[in-house]
Chain A
Amino acid sequence: MKEQIQEILEEARRSIPSCESDKNLEELRIKYLGKKSSLSGLLSKIGTIPKEKRPQMGAFLNIVKKEIAQLIEQKKLELHEKADALKTLGLDVTMPGRPLPIGAKHPLYQIWEEIEDIFISLGFEVAEGPEIESEYYNFDALNTPSWHPARNPQDTFYLKGGMLLRTQTSPMQIRVMEQFKPPLKIISTGRCYRVDKMDPSHLPVFHQVEALMVDEGVTMSDLKGSLDSFVKRIFSADTRSRFRPHFFPFTEPSAEIDILCINCKGEGCKLCKNSGWLEMGGAGMVDPTVLEEVGYDSEKYTGYAFGLGIERIAMLRYGISDIRKLVTNDLRILKQFQ
C-alpha cells in the first residue's frame, strides 16, 4: 500500500507543476484529492492492513495529501499571476474602441429645428402650408398691387395652369387668419422659390421663417421685443437689432431688419462690408387691409409680422460664405456637422 501511495505522490509532483490552466488544475485536484480519488480509495482500504500498522499508514497518507494540496495551491497562485500579467500586457488603451456609426443632420435643417424650438419656447405655434400656392394667397390677399414687380415671371415661378411657387411664407398668414380668430401667435416655416440665378448669395430654392402675432393691443414694441429675443438666442446675448424704414405691401409701417454684425460687433469687417450691420429680413405691423381681408376688425386688433431667411442665419452661424455650399451634399461638408 505504501508503494501505491508513493507512486501517486510522484505522479502528482510531475503533473501539477506542468499544468497550464485553472480548469486543468481543478481536474487534477479532483483526481488526487476528490472523493473518488485513488487516495480516498486507499484510505477506505486501510482496515485491511494489520491493526498495528494502521496509525502509521494513516499518518503517511495525510502527509501525502497535504503535500499535494500545497502543490495545487502554489500552482494556482502562479497561474493567476501569469494571467494578470497577460491581461496588463494585452490592453492598449490607445487602441480605437469599436467604432459605432455617427451621422448628422444637414446644417440647414439643424438651424431650422433650432429656430422652431426658440419660437416654440417663446409661445409661438408652428404652421406649415403648401409650397404650390395661388396668386391670391401669395400676392392679392397680401395687399400686393397688380403692378408690383414681384409678380413678374422674371421673379416668380409659375406653373402650367396658373398656380405659382410661393415666393415667401407669408401666404400662411392669410391661411391661418382665415381659419382662426385672434389671439394668434404663429411662425410658419418652409421652402420658398424665386427666380434667382445661383450665385454665392442666391438660390432659387430657399427657406424662410415668418412670425405673425395678432391680438388686441399688439404694438411695434412687441415686434421689436420678439425679434430681439430671437436674435439674442440664435446668435448671442449681445446681439442688437435696428429697423430701417422700407416698403412691403402687407405691412405698414414696414421695415428692414439689421443686426449688429456678429463678427465685428459693429466695428466694420468683411462680413458686414464695413457697415457694422447685417441685413436679416423684413418686418412690420400687419397692414389693416390685410386684417380686413380675412375679416378681422382692424380697429380692435393689431399685429406684427417678420420674415427671416433660414439659409442666411445658417451661413452666419456656421461661417459659410457661399450659399451654394448648403445644397452640394458633399460628405466633406456634411461630416463637419456631426
Chain B
Amino acid sequence: MKISYNWLNKLVPTHLDIDEFCEKLTMFGLEVEEVVQPGKKLDNIVIGKVVSVEKHPNADKLSLCKVDVGKSEPLSIICGAPNVVKDILVPVAMIGAKLGDFEIKKAKLRGVESFGMICSEKELGVSDEHSGIMIIKQDIEPGTPFADAMGINDHIIEVEVTPNRPDLLGMIGVAREVAVMLNTEYEHPEIAFEESEVKTKDEILVIIEDAEKCPRYCARMVKGITVQPSPAWMQRKLVASGLRPINNIVDVTNYVLLEYGQPLHAFDYTKIKDKTIVVRTAKDKEKMMLLDDTELKLHSENLLIADTEHPLALAGIMGGLDSSINDNTKDVVIECAYFDPKNIRASALEYGLQTDSSYRFERGMDPNGLIEVIDRAAQLIQLTGGGEISSGVVDCYPQKIEPKVLPLRVSRTNSILNAKMSADEVENYLNNFEFGTKKTSEDTYKVMIPTFRPDIEREIDIIEELARCYGYNNVESHFWINRIDNRQKRTVVRLAKNHLISLGFYEVNNMSFASPDDLDTLKIPENDFRRNVVELTNPMGEQFSIMRSTLIPDILKNVALNLSYKFENFKLFELNRIYLKEREDTFAEPTYLTGVIVGEFDPFYWKEKQRAASFYDVKGVVESVLSKIHCSKNITYKVSHQPYYEKDSAADIFLDEKKIGSCGIVKDDVLKSFEIEAPVLLFDIDLSNIIPLYNEKDIRFREIVKYPPVLRDIAVIAPSDIEVGMIEQVIKSVEPSIIKDIQLFDVYTGRQIKQGCRSLAFNITFQSEISTLTDRYVDKLFDNIVKKLLHEHQIELRQK
C-alpha cells in the first residue's frame, strides 16, 4: 500500500518528520518497506511559459523558443517537439538539472545556443508519453518548481499491509490507525451535495438473487454528466499513489478506492437493459466479455452483475466491456457492494484476475460503510463532471451484518502482557480504535467490533491490539538465562575430549586421592608447585592421604594394569581437576589434561611395517589438541627438564611466557617404579589457562585470497644446535605479510653434509592479499631470506 504523506497529513496531522513517523509506524505494526521522494530527482526543473516560437535557421525540424521561467529574461531553448506552440506552459529542465544520468548543459545545436530543455512526460518519469513535450494545462506561475506544481513534492511511503487488515487498504483506514497510534483525531472527508427531484429507486431496480455471495448492494445515479479529464489535484493524488488518470468517472472510482479502500464500479445507465441490475450466479458456460477484451466462459459458482439479459460485470473483479463508461456516457450508475470474500477469491484465482478490486474484496470490505462511500463517489462525480444526483440510494441489504460483540478481561490482558494497564486505559485505547465498549464489571467489558475489522474475532485478538497500543517495547523482559553458563569450559573440554577420541585415545576416570609416595616416584623436587598438596585429616588409609596434585601417577598405574591384561599398543587420557594448596586455607582446583601413548602410534595394518611412537607423535597430539581448542598461537616449545622424562626427549609447552605443560618420553626407571615394561609417551597440560581464552566467536569468515600463491623450496645447511623453529622464525620475519606458510619437508645428516650440521629443506608459500606476486619480487624475497640466514646465523644455502 502506497501512502502519500501529504495526503495523510491532511486527514490526520502527524506533526512528525518523515523518519520519525516511519519509525513509529513500523513499531506500531505497519512495516514501512520503502520511502520515495518522487520530487527529489526533479531539482532544477521548473514551469516555463513559451513566449515565442521561431524556426531554427539551420534545421527544419527544430524550433527556437523563448521561454519565460520567472527570471528577468526569457531563456533561449531549442526544441524538436512537433507540439511546441506559443503561450503554453511546459516543464523546463534548466542547466544543471539531471534527467536520470543525463545532465543538462549549455549546448549548441546547429550553430544556435540552447540554455535548457523542454521535457516530455516520459523524460520526467510522469508517464510513458513521449510523442511531444508535456503541456501543463493548469494556470501556474512560470518559475514554479515542477515538483511543487505537480504536487509530487511528497513522500510516498510503501507499507506492508498484512493480509488480515483490509481496513488499511485505504487512506481513511490508515488515518484511523495513525490516529490511534498518535492518540489523536482524524477527519473523514466532508460529504455534501444536493439531490435532484428524480428518485433513484424509480430509475433503477436491484435484485439480489444470491444473498450469500452478495449480502449488500447499493446503487446511485448521476445524470447528465460530462466525461472529461479529471482535475489536476485528483490526477496528482492518483499519480502519487501509482495510478494512471483516465477520465473523471474512472478517476473518481479509483480516487474513492484510494480514500476508503472500497472498490466501486460505474456503469453506463443506457447499457442496462430494463433498468434492472440482477446480482446472480452465472449459468453454466455463460460467456462474458471483460473490459480488457478477454472472454470468459463461466459456471454457476461465479457471481455476476447483470441486467435482465446480459452480464454487466464479473462481480467484485472486473467490469464488462459493453456496459463500461465511454466518452459519450451521460448517465452513470454507481455500484458499491459487499461481496463474500471466499467467492471473490475463488473466482479471481480461477481466471487469474488479480485486480485492485478483487485484492480488496477477497480480504473483506466493510458491509456497513457502503453508504458513505457511494455518497462520496456521487459527490466527486458531480464535482468533476457536473450532472444531477438522483435522490436516495437503492440499498439492497436483505440481512444486516451486525458488529461482533466480544468479552474482554482487563486482568487477562495484563497477565498476557505482564502489564499493569487500568480499565480506563484499556477502554480509551479501544475507543480510539472505534471499538464500542460497555463495562460489565470491574474487570470486564463487552467490546463491539466494527465491521471494518474482520480480523478481530476473539478476546485474544483484542488483546493484540491493546498490546500494540501499550507498546511491544514497553513489555518487561523477563530474563532467564546466560548469566552463569559455563559454556566456555564445557566447549573446550568436549572439543579436546572428542578430538583425542578420534585419535584413538580412551578416557579414564581415577579418584581424586593420592599417596605422597607418588610424587617421590615421579622424582618431583621439593620446591615444585605439585608439592603444595592438600592433606586429609581423616583419610581412608595412607595411600589416600592427599588430594592428587598431578594426574600422571594414576594414568601410569592405568598403563601398568592394562599392560598386565596383554594390551600392548594403546592410548589413554584423563581430563580432571588437580588440587593444590595455595595458602593456609585457600586452595586451587585447576583442570588438567594428561595422556599417554603406549607402544605403536598407528593401528596395526598388515600392509605396513609398524613403528613405535616417537616424541614427534606425542608432540603432534599436543599440537592438534591445542589447535582444536583454538590455542595454537603464542605456543612455544622448549627442551624440558622435568625429572620424569628421558634427557633430551621432552619439551615444555609455553603459552606466551607461562609454562602450561610438557610432553615427552617417560624415563625408564620411573616406568620401572610403576612396573611398566614398555616405552610410554606422556603429555600433561594445564587447561585452566587455556579455557578462558576460548571464544567461538573468534571464528570469522575471511574472503578467499584471489591472488595465487607461489611455492618455493629452500634447502639449507645449518649447525645441528640451531632449532628448526628459530630458522622458521627468521624466514617468516623477512616479510611476514607475504610469507604465509613454511613446511619442513626434509631433514638429512650424512656423508655429504659437514660434521655437526644438518641439511634442512623447507617449502615456503608466498602469497599477497592485494596483488599477484611477480617472479622477480619472489626472487628478491628469496634472496633476502638466503642473505639473512647466512649473515645473521651462518646458515648456508645447500648447493645442488
Contact = CB atoms under 8 A, between A and B. Distances in A.
Given A109-B507, A329-B508, A183 B480 contact: yes
Given A131-B577, A176-B484, A205 B512 contact: yes
Contact of A157 (B504, B507, B538): B538
B422 interface: no
A125 B485 contact: yes
B589 A132 contact: yes
Contact of A113 (B484, B494, B510, B537): B494
B352 interface: no
A96 B547 CA distance: 46
A109 B504 contact: no
A331 to B, nearest CB: 5
B618 to A, nearest CB: 14
Contact of B504 (A102, A113, A116, A128): A102
Interface residues of B, number: 57
B480 A132 contact: no
A103 B595 CA distance: 13
Interface in B573-614: 577, 579, 584-585, 587, 589, 602-607
Interface in B504-551: 504-513, 534-540, 544, 547
Nearest 7 interchain pairs by C-beta: A101-B504, A99-B603, A103-B501, A329-B508, A106-B507, A205-B511, A103-B505
A195 B503 contact: no
Interface of B: 478-487, 489-490, 494, 497, 500-513, 534-540, 544, 547, 558, 561-562, 565, 567, 570-572, 577, 579, 584-585, 587, 589, 602-607
B481 A125 contact: yes
28 contacts: A96-B606, A99-B603, A100-B603, A101-B571, A102-B502, A103-B505, A103-B506, A105-B501, A125-B485, A126-B485, A126-B487, A126-B490, A131-B512, A159-B535, A160-B536, A163-B585, A165-B547, A179-B484, A180-B484, A183-B479, A185-B480, A203-B511, A204-B544, A205-B513, A331-B562, A334-B506, A334-B507, A335-B506
A329 B572 contact: yes
Interface in A203-220: 203-205
A193 B579 CA distance: 14
Interface in A77-126: 96, 98-106, 108-109, 113, 116, 123, 125-126
Given A102-B502, A157-B538, 14 more contacts: A98-B607, A101-B502, A106-B507, A108-B509, A130-B589, A153-B537, A157-B536, A161-B585, A180-B484, A186-B484, A203-B511, A327-B510, A330-B565, A331-B567
B507 A105 contact: yes
A47 interface: no
Contacts of A176: 484
A131 B579 contact: yes
DSSP majority for the B interface?
loop
Contacts of A99: 603-605
A132 B509 contact: no
Chain A contact-residue range equals 35 or more
Contact of B509 (A106, A165, A180): A106
B509 A329 contact: yes
Contacts of B605: 96, 98-99
Interface in A271-322: none
Contacts of A328: 561
Contacts of A128: 486, 489
A137 to B, nearest CB: 13
B397 to A, nearest CB: 52
A20 to B, nearest CB: 26
A129 to B, nearest CB: 9
A104 B603 contact: no
B503 to A, nearest CB: 6
A186 B501 CA distance: 29
B500 A103 contact: yes
Contact of B535 (A123, A127, A160, A195): A160
Given A123-B480, A330-B565, A331-B570, A158 B510 contact: no
A19 interface: no
A334 B494 CA distance: 18
A159 B536 contact: yes
Interface of A: 96, 98-106, 108-109, 113, 116, 123, 125-128, 130-132, 153, 157-163, 165, 176, 179-180, 183, 185-186, 191, 193, 195, 197, 203-205, 326-332, 334-335
A179 B484 CA distance: 10
B494 A204 contact: no
Contacts of B486: 125-128
Nearest to B584: A161
A195 B505 CA distance: 32
B481 A123 contact: yes
B507 A163 contact: no
B691 to A, nearest CB: 11
Contacts of B513: 204-205
Nearest to B487: A126
B540 A195 contact: yes
Nearest to B504: A101
B504 to A, nearest CB: 3
Contacts of A179: 484
A329 B490 CA distance: 23
Nearest to B573: A103
Contact of A125 (B484, B489, B547, B562): B484
A153 B539 CA distance: 10
A101 B579 contact: no
Contacts of A330: 561-562, 565
A270 B538 CA distance: 36
A162 B585 contact: yes
A327 B602 CA distance: 27
B435 to A, nearest CB: 33
B606 to A, nearest CB: 8
A243 B565 CA distance: 45
A159 B586 CA distance: 11
A100 B503 CA distance: 8
A157 B541 CA distance: 12
Contact of A130 (B571, B587, B604): B587
Nearest to A198: B540
A185 B605 CA distance: 51
A213 to B, nearest CB: 11
Contacts of B484: 125-127, 176, 179-180, 186
A330 B511 CA distance: 14
Contacts of A125: 481-486
Contacts of A102: 501-502, 504
A132 B607 CA distance: 53
A98 B585 CA distance: 54
A329 B595 CA distance: 13
A326 B511 CA distance: 10
Contacts of A195: 538, 540
